Structure 1
Amino acid sequence: MKNKYQILILGHGEMGRAMEYLLQQRHTLTVWQRRSQPGSLAVELESIAGQQDIIIFCLPANPHFELATRLRPRLRPDTFCVSIAKGLDDEGRTAARALTQALGPEAPIAVLYGPMISEEIRAGRPAFAQAGAARAEIFARLRDVFAGTSLYLEHSADTEGISWSAVLKNVYAILFGVADELGLGDNMRGYLATAAMHELERIVTGLGGSAGAAHGLAGLGDLITTATSKGSHHHELGRRLVRGQTGALEGEGVHTLKMVRAHRLFGSRHHALFDLIGQLLDKPAATRERMKNFLEQLE
């Protein structure tokens, strides 16, 4: 059935294009960009917001609160907002927290996190995500939205837990790139996966997530994808650290680590791998030496 829902996609980066690919055959889509591209028609956000059934935030976490605040007076009560942002904003908030604070605690919001590489989605390959939604009816609507697509959803009521899992796994993925560039081998990768999951679980539960949240698609599933994919930005960041290419060390993982420190969200010194990644980003020139010292301390 075509044109089942009116859907507004905010942002047209990699994941915005992936969402458009998945949904364009069955729904009526409108795409809004913060900066209009030459030759494209400008879309006035407030004027179209009230017409939408679903709004998908395909943007970094930082503009979520501001955009949701702008949208709130125009939204219908049954319009729900979905985010796929796997980072923190400058206030140290996850996308779910930013949307909740902007729209109110009763607003229908959800997050989609898991192994969802944009290029693979647009090539028709399967992708997988946990849909974090407090209420079952929100998940039912999301499942209907993506029915018949190559994105397979499972429900989690633990929006907090899967949000932190998705955000923090980007930090750990950097270390896999470091290890691969140093030629430390598959055994090292196995160790990092195990140690990273132990840390991730402790951190996520300490931040309010449920036990086991880190082991789902948003955590372990996406960590494996991000830490091993040839096209992974965060894996490549780790490689650049070893090569001394420090001119473009940016991304969701790097920003997340900065926000954890700036807002003292948890004590990174109690988590050896997380602390190590921070040390490497602080002094990239010492990456080889610090990795050597880290391994020696394991003896």
Structure 2
Amino acid sequence: MNSFSTMTSFPATDAFLLGIDGGGSGTRVILANAHGVELARSSGGPSGLGLGVERAWQSIEDACRSAFASAALPFDWRACSLGCGLAGVNNADWLAAFLTAAPEVRALRIESDAYTTVVGAHGGEPGVIVALGTGSIAASLDQAGVCHIAGGYGFPSGDEASGAWLGLRAVVHLQRVLDGRAAEDGWSRELLARTGATDRDSLVVWLCNANQTAYATLAPTVFAFRDHPGAAWLLEQAGHEIETLVAALDPHGALPIALCGGLAVPYEPFVPVGLRERMRAPRADSAAGALELARRAAAGSEEAVDPAR
């Protein structure tokens, strides 16, 4: 576990907990008092470390300030214990840079967003999650509280069944239509509208500039045109990818499963039946899992002040 903490003179009664879920599409924050009672929620821009450490901290600070403003409280980093579930912390260089740039906080504990997602989804109990958004990753928590990961290697080679994975494959249909290998249809017209292209050359320009976020904007078209043979095949393949991710973490099929992220609900009908029977709604989100990290960080900082606790 990666942790970083600083001590201040703030009494515990004036301390706050911040649970922060940061990814490539946005940041979600839960503000709670020292006892864990939720005071406010807020959201902000992306804070996945792959987008840059300075940008990540700026998005986090903006979202935290917004949460304090919603609770009508003054904002001071020194009174805050942070628990962060962030995309990209598996890159040691990014993580080290993020820690170096950290403000003077009361305490800080960082894990991957996969870890905070599985903690939130199953309330800290054993279970499996598949997080499906712009990217994707699967995680499990075992009886000992150890987190195991499958997938999540990143776009374009990994992140199976993610929005970017779907969009990358969906745009192939448009390419085939534009040069006459397939007939124009409603799906290709929608893809054309989403990319803003008007012909082959303008689509090439879009493709040259597209990143995973851009490809993910095409994913909703696959669900909207689910009856199209090409879209139906993609959704079937995605369902099998989700099944494979779960099997890697729970080969005996003993743990409950939760789909999380923006594509969780759209994907439910396309998950193989045997897997669907074991699925349950997440108890809470990744920000709630991050709030648990903040609670642990705060408890650790208090023990450092008073070893007799």
- Identify the TM-score tier after normalising by the shorter chain: 0.3 to 0.5
Q: Taking structure 2 as the reference length, what is the TM-score of the superposition? A: 0.31
Greater fraction of residues in helix: 1
Q: Which has the larger radius of gyration?
A: 2
